[in-house]
Amino acid sequence: MAAALGLGLTIGILLGLLGGGGSILAVPALVYGVGTPLAVAVPTSLLVVGVSSVTAVLPRLRQGQVAWRIAGVFGTAGAGAAFAGAAVNRLLDPRVVLVGFAALMVAAGVRMLREQLTIGGDCALPGGGVNWRGCLPKAIGSGVVVGFLTGLFGVGGGFLIIPALVLLLGLPMTVAVGTSLVIIVINSVAGFAAHAGDAALDYRVALAFTAAAVVGSLASARVASRLPAERLRRWFAYLVFTVAALVVVQALINPPSG
């Protein structure tokens, strides 16, 4: 239980600081840190990430940092794709899932190290409003990709959502972070529903992990604007690389249960 509390707190802190990204560590933390079977770890991760994202977005709501219509389109497209990702997850060997997950972690870490996000895209017009003709296809396409990965790997997808919102759709970074958290909630709910019935959750572990993540996300969201974002991103990328390597080694040497 102590491991669940400590790891949940870490996930929540990262989620509150970065508006996403911390969720990519939740599945390996549950599998290798807590000893949860993969079939249980995936829906538990989605539960933790969804609840933590709700709490992390609360301080940003008061500052108007959520583009609600874009979040609705992006999240709705992803919700349907999450069921497809969950269906593929059930067909794959747990080792294949974890090795694929590690590859996704490496890609996320590389993106974080190279991150130089500049505002562009089709959704933000100079005079305000949204150019839906150019924005809608990109919002739907990005939502489908992120939703599929949510169902397949049990991640919220913030590390993919934020660059999509900024680079493809043109949202300012502050609005992208808040909007990302809302989309993560939608995707997590859909992914959890898609995995419902796969395995019985250990609700004591889930509750402890979630409660710690909520505390961490609330605390870190309040100080996120006062911390050096670039340095945080680099440190997190190195942590992701380390965990990805451990996941591959463990998956090959000590295959997880389904």
Q: For the chain, give the mean pLDDT.
A: 78
| Whole-number Å distance between alpha carbons of 58 and 180 | 13
Q: How many residues does the chain have?
A: 258
pLDDT for 74: 92
When pLDDT is averaged across residues 184-206 and rounded to a whole number, the result is: 82
In a domain, 27, yes or no: yes
Domain annotation covers residue 61: yes
- Mean pLDDT over 231-254 rounds to 76
Residue 221 placed within a domain = yes
CA separation for the pair 17, 224 (Å, rounded): 5
User: In this predicted structure, which of 2-16, 125-139, 161-175, 179-193 has the lowest mean pLDDT?
Assistant: 125-139
Question: Does the pLDDT of residue 62 top 80, yes or no?
Answer: no
What's the pLDDT at 73? Answer: 92
Q: How many CB atoms lie within 10 A of CB 245?
A: 13
**Among 148, 183, 179, 149, which residue's Cα sits nearest to residue 166?**
179
Lowest model confidence (mean pLDDT) among 27-36, 57-66, 124-133, 154-163:
124-133
Span of 100-109, 166-175, 231-240 with lowest mean pLDDT: 231-240
* pLDDT on residue 77: 92
228 occurs within a structural domain: yes
Range of weakest confidence among 16-25, 142-151, 216-225? 16-25
Question: Does 106 map to a domain?
Answer: yes
pLDDT of residue 47: 86
**Upper half-sphere CA count for residue 26 (Cβ side, 13 Å):** 38
For the cut 70, the answer to whether the pLDDT of residue 156 exceeds it is no
Mean pLDDT of 206-217: 85
Residues in a beta bridge with 130: 124
Q: Is residue 28 domain-resident?
A: yes
Residue 258 in domain: no
Q: How far apart are CA 237 and CA 175, in angstroms?
A: 22
Asked if residue 58 is part of any domain, the answer here is yes
Domain count, the chain: 1
Average pLDDT of 154-165? Answer: 73
Q: Residue 8 sits in which domain range? A: 2-253
Query: Average of pLDDT values for 30-42?
Result: 83
User: Would you give the distance in Å from CA 178 to the centre of its chain?
Assistant: 13
